[in-house]
């Protein structure tokens, strides 16, 4: 079993229209705090991002926000977090979030959340990290996306083994268990050689 001391959560800067999704974000925050897993996230006060952060803090957990300077106004920076890291741009933000985390969980969100999720999957696919990537498919929010990914496997544009890099569950405890048990087989030989 791998230790998960910190998890980066990608999720919406909106709250959506479904109270059950907001509740799932709050429950995730609570469970992370209870299991002493610190939260690394986008540093905003708004949307379900803010809900997860508030929930972790209400349960005495640790929160690290990572936000680019230009987004501080737009996304309303959360000044209550334990540590706030300001970056110069989005790329630096994602690098920082990746470096600070032992794994990733994506909750419902929009383009921003999908971009962040797919970036960490592609980095894993390339063997650039071996960290677990979880998708919390609460209320079947991601059913259509998963159907699309299966279609990509079926059409042989996505390798089955790469699809398996995405750990999916609708239940938070089960998702965390899958992440703790995750063993990456992806250490690319050419990348290893290239990096030396
Ligand atoms: P969204 O899922 O669109 O509500 O966005 C959620 C988070 O993703 C927000 O913190 C955004 O700042 C971030 N985000 C938006 N666009 C991008 C992008 N192109 N790359 C990385 N993160 C982004």
The values of phi and psi at residue 55, to 5°, are -65, -45
Ligand 1 atom having least distance to the Cα of 111: 3
Atom of ligand 1 nearest to the CA of 68: 12
* Cβ proximity of 163 and 157 under 8 Å: no
Q: Average pLDDT, stretch 123-136?
A: 96
Q: Helix, strand, coil % (nearest 5) of the chain?
A: 50, 15, 35
Measured by CA distance, the residue closest to atom 11 of ligand 1 is 112
pLDDT, tens digit (0-9, with 9 covering 90-100), for 97-123: 999 999 999 999 999 999 999 999 999
| 48: Cα separation from own chain's centroid | 13
The pLDDT score that the predictor gives to residue 189 is 57
Residue 191 pLDDT greater than 60, yes or no: no
**Ligand 1 centroid distance, CA of 43 (Å):** 11
- pLDDT tens-digit readout, 136-160: 999 999 999 999 999 999 999 999 9
Domains of the chain, first to last: 6-181 (3.40.50.450)
Verify whether ligand 1 is closer than 6 Å to residue 115 (CB atom). yes
Distance (Å, rounded) from C-alpha 171 to C-alpha 144? 18
Q: Is 98 in the pocket of ligand 1 (CB under 6 A)?
A: no
Q: Please give the average per-residue pLDDT across 21-36, as a whole number.
A: 98
pTM metric for this prediction:
0.94
Quick one: pLDDT band at residue 196, thresholds 50, 70, 90?
Answer: very low
Maximum C-alpha span of the chain: 49
């Amino acid at each position: 079993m791998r230790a998960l001391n910190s998890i980066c959560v990608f999720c919406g800067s909106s709250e959506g229209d479904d109270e059950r999704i907001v509740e799932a974000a709050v429950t995730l925050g609570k469970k992370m705090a209870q299991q002493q897993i610190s939260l690394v996230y986008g540093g905003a006060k708004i949307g379900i991002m803010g809900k997860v952060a508030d929930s972790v803090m209400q349960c005495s957990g640790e929160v690290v926000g990572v936000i680019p300077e230009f987004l501080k106004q737009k996304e309303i920076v959360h000044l209550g977090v334990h540590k706030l890291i300001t970056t110069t741009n989005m790329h630096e933000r994602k690098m920082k979030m990746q470096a600070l985390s032992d794994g990733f969980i994506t909750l419902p969100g929009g383009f921003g959340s999908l971009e962040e999720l797919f970036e960490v999957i592609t980095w894993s696919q390339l063997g650039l990290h071996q960290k677990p990537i979880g998708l919390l498919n609460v209320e079947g929010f991601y059913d259509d996306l998963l159907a699309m990914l299966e279609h990509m496997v079926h059409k042989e544009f996505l390798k089955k083994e790469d699809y398996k890099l995405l750990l999916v569950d609708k239940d938070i405890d089960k998702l965390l268990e899958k992440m703790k048990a995750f063993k990456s087989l992806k250490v690319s030989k050419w990348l290893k050689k290239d990096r030396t």
